[in-house]
Amino acid sequence: MRPIDLRSDTVTQPSKEMRAAMASAEVGDDVLERDPTLARLEARVAELLGMEAALWVPSGCMGNLIALMLHLKRGDRFLAPAQAHVLGAELGTGAWLAGGMPEALAWEGGPGRPTPAQVTRAAGSPGPYYTLTTTLLCLENTHNFAGGAVTPLDEHRALVAAAKGVGLRVHLDGARIWHAAAALGLPPGALTEGVDTVQVCLSKGLGAPMGSLFCGSAPTVIEARRLRKMLGGGVRQGGVMGAAGLVALDHLPRLPEDHAKARRLAEGLRAFGVAAPIPETNILLIPVPDAGGAAAALETAGVRPSVVGSALRFIPHRDLELADIEEALRRAEPLAHLLRSA
Ligand SMILES: Cc1ncc(COP(=O)(O)O)c(C=O)c1O
């Protein structure tokens, strides 16, 4: 039985078209001068996001780390929504490599997001010399561990305004900004309004085997290129990956199909008596009494979720059709009792 892999939107295989584009990519040495295909990709993403400049980096973690290293110095504090990827899923590099003390803000504004008042309060006013200085707000849209939760535009604006009002810089972890934009029916550039830097991923839902873009002002991106090299992320004929990235961007208009698949999965599970939330985007997160046990049982039945804390996470993606979701529901039905809350 072919397993239906719903662990992540990163498990996709490069399409034939993507592989062909990679094989025929025009390339140069991106460490020495610029790789022409990476340069094209960077220009296209900067324009899409309404940012001045962009830099290809191998991963989302590196994009976020470069941002934190640029914005923070030792003795600084940065704020981020609770369970943000930069807080819990990047091995603490924001603290030990970028030197910032992280502070998690509870989701008082809705799933995955704090309120502007929390930002103002948490930033505080300058204390004695031995206290931390809060310098950065790090947002995440969509918020992965809040189940792909979207921060709407008005709330994004209010959070940025609150941060700026107390002198903070703003970095946006936009690994899935595409999904937020698709859910809101907005161009992705609308959701970067006011931010100093943003990182976006091409490997999540869009099908690229690797690659993210760090974006900011032109001088910031020049500095980011030095940090990328420092971190071992300078690549040579990167256009092979750049070509994959350009093809990945062509998939943007189809992201709503993945959102529809996630919704169908949630609705199907609800029909079996599972208290599945209706996902806003492509991530369905279901708290269950025994996540490890339920995941193992589903795996045996040919459905692969991932375990996120005490929840199961299902992420439909471009390599699965709606028919695969129906089949996953058929396979999961006999195990639905394992997905019901205690
Ligand atoms: C919100 C978010 N930010 C950053 C990352 C890191 O991306 P990468 O795995 O490419 O390092 C991820 C990965 O899943 C993510 O979900």
**CATH code: domain of residue 63:** 3.40.640.10
CA of 204 to the centre of ligand 1 (A): 8
Q: Residue ranges of the chain with pLDDT lower than 50?
A: none
**Mapped to the 3 state alphabet, what secondary structure does 46-115 carry?**
HHHHCCCEEEEECCHHHHHHHHHHHHCCCCEEEEEECCCHHHHCCCCHHHHCCCEEEEEECCCCECCECC
Q: Is the CB of 282 under 6 A from ligand 1?
A: no
In angstroms, the CA 239 to CA 217 distance is 23
93, with CB counted inside 10 A (0-12, 13-18, 19+), is middle
Query: Is the C-alpha dihedral spanning 233, 237, 241, 247 positive or negative?
Result: positive
Q: Is the CB of 173 under 6 A from ligand 1?
A: yes
Is the same domain home to 244 and 277? no
Q: For residue 113, which phi and psi values (nearest 5 degrees)?
A: -140, 140
In angstroms, the CA 312 to CA 211 distance is 26
Residue 147 within any structural domain of the chain: yes
Is the same domain home to 329 and 283? yes
What is the value of pTM for the model shown?
0.98
Is the same domain home to 196 and 241? yes
Is the same domain home to 317 and 181? no
Among 8, 204, 308, which is best to mutate for testing ligand 1, by the most ligand atoms less than 8 A from CB?
A: 204
pLDDT of residue 280: 98
> Which residue CA neighbors atom 5 of ligand 1 most closely?
60
Residue 228 within any structural domain of the chain: yes
Q: Which residue has the tokens 């991932």?
A: 306
CA of 62 to the centre of ligand 1 (A): 9
Is the same domain home to 245 and 260? no
Q: Is the CB of 144 under 6 A from ligand 1?
A: yes
In angstroms, the CA 334 to CA 64 distance is 41
pLDDT of residue 342: 59
Q: What is the pLDDT of residues 270-287, one digit of tens each?
A: 999 999 999 999 999 999
Is the same domain home to 163 and 33? yes
pLDDT of residue 341: 80
Residue 7 within any structural domain of the chain: no
Buried b (16+ CB within 10 A) or exposed e, 209-234: bbbbbbbbeeebbeebbebbeebebb
CA 74, 76, 81 angle in degrees (round to 5)? 125
Q: Is the CB of 313 under 6 A from ligand 1?
A: no
CATH number of the domain enclosing 317: 3.90.1150.10
pLDDT of residue 40: 98
In angstroms, the CA 235 to CA 58 distance is 9
- Provide the terminal-to-terminal Cα distance of the chain, rounded to the nearest Å: 30
pLDDT of residue 125: 84
Is the same domain home to 170 and 267? no
Domain C-terminal end among 249, 284, 312? 249
Residue 3 within any structural domain of the chain: no
Is the same domain home to 311 and 210? no
Is the same domain home to 26 and 49? yes
Query: What is the residue range of 77's domain?
Result: 16-249
> Which residue CA neighbors atom 6 of ligand 1 most closely?
60
Residue 11 within any structural domain of the chain: no
Q: What is the pLDDT of residues 26-40, one digit of tens each?
A: 999 999 999 999 999
pLDDT of residue 59: 98
Is the same domain home to 130 and 22? yes
In angstroms, the CA 254 to CA 127 distance is 50
Q: For residue 305, which phi and psi values (nearest 5 degrees)?
A: -95, 180
Domain count along the chain: 2
Residue 290 within any structural domain of the chain: yes
pLDDT of residue 54: 98
Q: Is the CB of 61 under 6 A from ligand 1?
A: yes
Domain C-terminal end among 226, 249, 272? 249
Is the same domain home to 148 and 220? yes
pLDDT of residue 126: 85
Domain C-terminal end among 218, 249, 280? 249
Q: Is the CB of 203 under 6 A from ligand 1?
A: yes
Residue 37 within any structural domain of the chain: yes
Is the same domain home to 268 and 193? no
Residue 270 within any structural domain of the chain: yes
